[in-house]
Amino acid sequence: MTYQSFLYCSILAIIFFFTNTSSAHRKNLTVELIHRDSPHSPLYNPHHTISDRLNAAFLRSISRSRHFATKTDLQSGLVANGGEYFMSISIGTPPSKVLAIADTGSDLTWIQCKPCQQCFKQNSPIFDKKQSSTYKTESCDSKTCHALSEHEEGCDASSNICKYRYSYGDQSFTKGDIATETISIDSSSGSPVSFPGTVFGCGYNNGGTFEETGSGIIGLGGGPLSIISQLGSSIGKKFSYCLSHTSSTTNGTSVINLGTNSIPSKPSKDSTVLTTPLVQKDPENYYFLTLEAITVGKTKLPYTGGEYSFKKSKKITGNIIIDSGTTLTLLESGFYDDFGAAVEESVTGAKRVSDPQGVLTHCFKAGDKEIGLPEITMHFANADVKLSPINAFVRVTEDMVCLSMIPTTEVAIYGNLVQMDFLVGYDLETKTVSFQSMDCSGNL
């Protein structure tokens, strides 16, 4: 059993393969993913141990989760450097390559632009809008401008240019112009697939904790200005991803699929397709599901948590956010007490110990016997998703494993460790999310 894969959720080093569907206007795109800590990543540090990378990912999860529930002047409620993936695209005419954080919890895509009033350091050249023949600003009274929330929207009345301003939970920020550009994606044939007139933010005042590797943020959330929403008709309002567990032979290859063929429509010989409603609620850029219960071994525990309100007598739909950018899964703290106790009772061949880093709550160290881990099933509305031990537990040392779920007093989050080796499909037309168990390393 390989556990290095728990780390593998960070850089979208993207290669798109393009095919036409039966509709002349719809496309299917497959995106190859490379983890930020793999040797192929620009962030790879050979001096970091597996434990170093795990702990860093866990801390990013906690930082990111603390701001999901924030209702103040935040764009996505996240720390700016909290995303687990980067995405490579081209923008402008002629095209310029950019690498930016890919975030399923963000709406507007933005990148750094010249001339900078203030820009954070980035390794690649900063986008120069004056060198592009397809760059066009949006007016203050445009529909696009009004799609921004009140605290995000601004206007330069003298030039009639729509402005945006975003702040993040760690005091990072970006400000700039709302504009449209041609976004291009490389295809397997070598000919780029272009999407003209794509709305994005051209940021000329940006700062905070952004890494030098990236140029900004690519929004993959459910809001009207996200890339997913803007490409809606051309991709049939459907996308999916398959995050793999890595091994020495696969190097953690994962994919994102855009288009009508991306959603599993029928079960395979080895697994069924489980579908649960996608709940529409504020903020609309987040993807909400309803978690009804969790089974540990043979013990089924009704989930009593709800977003922003944790009253055990009240069942709330849309009580957990599914997010590919958060590593751990976070569950309401009142429910977690009983859940953790059930897990501890079900683990065999090991004794409970403390996490040396103080992040994870339920860790178990092996004795003379092999550790026996319980099967955990997540009961979403109409979908019972069975997790393998390598989804629900993380091996932090050779003789110690820890539960990949922790308590929270904020909104619950279904993180990426429990999603690995599932094809997770989003159908924004039918408003559903589907799960199909599969070996994601063979999904290309």
Catalytic residues: 103, 323
Q: Distance (Å, rounded) from C-alpha 218 to C-alpha 223? A: 12
Site of tokens 């110990």: 353
Length of the chain: 444
Q: Distance (Å, rounded) from C-alpha 335 to C-alpha 3? A: 27
